[in-house]
Structure 1
């Protein structure tokens, strides 16, 4: 369990099938345990899926070589060259402003947008097709209008990327291959 200055409680299952609970600093442990109990079936299902995927990859000989520091450096350099220009273009199209753009090697997110409008992007986006990079950028910029994933948020995304559901599916289907490659 990781406690931080967050407002919501979330459960994550990583590619190894490990469970992480992220909770607000002051949330009572009884409330956290109740939430975990309510999500027990979801947790079991996702742990089983991740363990099966890991086993399938091992059996298929698809365990990838760890990503090197040199490769991360190259991906970050390329992302810093490509992403800011795309952000500028899409921000103008959407009609929003933004703060700083940061490129990092992240293990669980493709991008994020802070309440102050700062944007973070995963350097591993450089290993995805251009239309996926565009989708992630638009997704994060649309959070400048809606800081949630409500129907209004998705309507904003759809105005720019009409087939955004296909892009989301691509990330769901192929993201693990890129995101969870060991370092």
Structure 2
């Protein structure tokens, strides 16, 4: 997750994610958010200097991403919501929220927060199922499985084996969900991103690079 760094770029907050990487890497996410991946030993002052050095590139990238940003979701007839890799058209109907065919049926008066809670609940069930399946295949014993609000990463594996997954993954097709699950479970075998770790990932997800590329593309469209 990005830390609250206190850094500003042209008045805009900058999130910093400390990682085991060799150099500072700048990211401009959908909507124009600025994220920095930095080694733990790099000071905030040095990061600020790098932001200033890359000012022209950052300004252009922020403008481009803001222009591409999708409009905020609304709970209205015909609005499109993704689930399991499919686009569903929202339609008001009585009863509980449910997906039927190519439609997402929602009671009139439902707020976006309630719809989000429905998605999170579905994600929790799906993630528990997929983690249990792949944990048995890989031969590991994870801790708790949680669907969480996290935008800086698709998943994480805690020191006690807890698996945290971004609830928005439930919007994507099963192969992409499984790819993230496999990645995090393999950290129970290798607590790093060494060649040995990637060999384990490739063993259970031979197309992991393609899956990650597709997921990076799809996640840029996550707009709520």
Superposition TM-score, scaled by structure 1 size = 0.75
Matched, 1:108 2:152: yes
Q: Structure 1 residues 66 and 151, CA, compared in 2 at 3 Å: closer, same or farther?
A: farther
Greater RCO, 1 or 2 (C-alpha within 8 Å, sep 6+):
1
Q: Tell me, which stretches of 5 or more residues in structure 1 are unaligned?
A: 58-62
| Partner SS state of residue 177, structure 1 | coil
| Partner SS state of residue 102, structure 1 | strand
Q: Structure 1 residues 147 and 49, CA, compared in 2 at 3 Å: closer, same or farther?
A: farther
- Give the aligned partner of residue 124 of structure 2: 80
Deviates more, 1:8-17 or 1:81-90: 8-17
From the CA coordinates, give the structure whose radius of gyration is larger.
2
Residue 66 of structure 1 deviates from its aligned partner by 4.6
- Give the aligned partner of residue 152 of structure 1: 196
Deviates more, 1:17-26 or 1:141-150: 17-26
Matched, 1:51 2:66: yes
1:140 to 184, 199, 203: 184
Q: Tell me, which stretches of 5 or more residues in structure 2 are unaligned?
A: 6-14, 76-111
Residue 14 of structure 1 deviates from its aligned partner by 2.8
Deviations 1:115-162 (A, max 9, x none): 221111122111111111111111111122223333322221110111
2:73 to 65, 70, 84: 65
Q: Is residue 72–residue 105 contact of structure 1 (8 Å, CA) maintained in 2?
A: no
For residues 143 and 41 of structure 1, what CA distance do their matches in structure 2 show? 38
Q: Structure 1 residues 78 and 166, CA, compared in 2 at 3 Å: closer, same or farther?
A: same
- Give the aligned partner of residue 32 of structure 2: 17
Deviates more, 1:79-88 or 1:20-29: 20-29
Superposition TM-score, scaled by structure 2 size = 0.63
Q: Is residue 186–residue 200 contact of structure 2 (8 Å, CA) maintained in 1?
A: yes
| Partner SS state of residue 221, structure 2 | helix
Question: Structure 1 or 2: larger strand share?
Answer: 2
Q: Structure 1 residues 39 and 146, CA, compared in 2 at 3 Å: closer, same or farther?
A: farther
For residues 200 and 33 of structure 2, what CA distance do their matches in structure 1 show? 34
Q: Is residue 75–residue 126 contact of structure 1 (8 Å, CA) maintained in 2?
A: yes
Q: Structure 1 residues 152 and 20, CA, compared in 2 at 3 Å: closer, same or farther?
A: same
Q: Structure 1 residues 24 and 173, CA, compared in 2 at 3 Å: closer, same or farther?
A: closer
